[in-house]
Amino acid sequence: MSFYKEVEDLKNFDIEKYIERITHEDIKKSIEKEKLTRYDFLNILSPKAKDHIEEMAKVAQKKSIQQFGKIISLYIPIYISNYCTNECTYCGFNKNNKIDRKHLSLEEIEIEAIEIAKTGIRHILLLTGEAEGLVGIKYIEDAVKILKKYFDSVVIEIYPLDTNEYERLGKIGVDGLTVYQEVYDEKIYKSVHLGGEKSDYMWRLETPERGAKAGLRSIGIGPLFGLGNLIKEAYLSGLHVEYLSDKYLNSEFSISLPRINEAEGG
């Protein structure tokens, strides 16, 4: 079963009507629980929960320390190519935008890696635009091999791959992947992704699962806030992580919360 079934099932659930009925007492009870149900999750996402920010922050801090201790992990991104074949209406990398494009050679990647490593940060995020014809899997593999000489952890944020390709990258040292669904609402998704591989909603939605099947250790997902209904998108992101965590016990999953900012051509 794909997570798409969860997306479809939600179409039959009137979130707005449920949220209207939420009381402050409901929110307090949800905050006090050790394990939240899906309804509890909606309770603390509701507009009325703004009045309980301080209580939620205290609980969140306590749980964070219990799970991770007082640890902050830093990483640095390295863009190796900003060429893209997609037509995303909100993105500066849109193939129709007249911007400067750069595709690093392997020699240039190594020069950048050496300079970045001088900062002392040992984790790096490798990013590209989505132009598979130019930024093929062999190029990505070669880039990863270079980065592994200088960094303890390499995570990728590139175009979606198939399971076998993720396995190939895992074998040479890729620890994880980040892939944003951007928006779970399928109708909105199609209206803002007008062309290119990214216009395939299902292929992107199932990318985290392919990465988990390939054995990647860490997988990050998230919506792009500003495209769809904030509460619905946050809710579906939470359900997505729940689905993945329950199914793939050997991978760790996280949610990022990017939001739309101005971009040239976006």
Summarize pLDDT for 100-121 with one digit per residue, the tens. 999 999 999 999 999 999 999 9
What pLDDT does residue 7 have? 94
Q: How far apart are CA 100 and CA 82, in angstroms?
A: 9
Per the CB < 8 A criterion, the answer to whether 62 and 228 are in contact is no
How confident is the model at residue 159, as a pLDDT? Answer: 98
pLDDT-based confidence at residue 265 (cuts at 50, 70, 90): low
Query: Alpha-carbon distance 106 to 119, whole Å?
Result: 21
Residues 199, 89 contacting (CB under 8 angstroms) = no
Q: What does the pLDDT read at residue 262?
A: 75
Whether the predicted pLDDT of 263 surpasses 70: no
CATH topology of domain 73-255: TIM Barrel (3.20.20)
Give, rounded to a whole angstrom, the gap between the first and last alpha carbons of the chain: 35
- Tens digits of per-residue pLDDT, 145-177? 999 999 999 999 999 999 999 999 999 999 999
pLDDT tens-place string over residues 225-259: 999 999 999 999 999 999 999 999 999 999 999 99
What integer pLDDT is reported at residue 185 of this predicted model? 96
The percentage of residues in the chain with a pLDDT greater than 70, rounded to a whole number, is 98
Residue 79 near residue 113 (C-beta atoms within 8 A): no
Residues 17-75 have pLDDT tens digits of 999 999 999 999 999 999 999 999 999 999 999 999 999 999 999 999 998 898 888 99
Rounded to whole angstroms, the Cα distance separating 11 from 8 reads 5
Domain boundaries along the sequence of the chain: 4-65, 73-255
> What percentage of the chain carries pLDDT values higher than 90?
93
Give the integer Cα–Cα distance in Å for 152 and 173.
Answer: 9
Element spanning 115, H or E: helix 106-117
pLDDT in tens, 127-148: 999 999 999 999 999 999 999 9
* 3-7: Cβ within 8 A, 24+ apart: 3/205, 3/206, 3/209, 3/239, 3/240, 3/243, 3/244, 4/202, 4/205, 4/206, 6/236, 6/239, 6/240, 6/243, 7/184, 7/186, 7/205, 7/236
Q: Tell me: the pLDDT tens digits for 208-219?
A: 999 999 999 999
CB 149 within 8 A of CB 119: no
Q: Region 176-196: what's the mean pLDDT?
A: 98
- φ and ψ at residue 128, rounded to 5 degrees: -140, 165
Burial of 227 by CB count in 10 Å (0-12 exposed, 13-18 middle, 19+ buried)?
Answer: buried
Q: How confident is the model at residue 194 (pLDDT cuts 50, 70, 90)?
A: very high
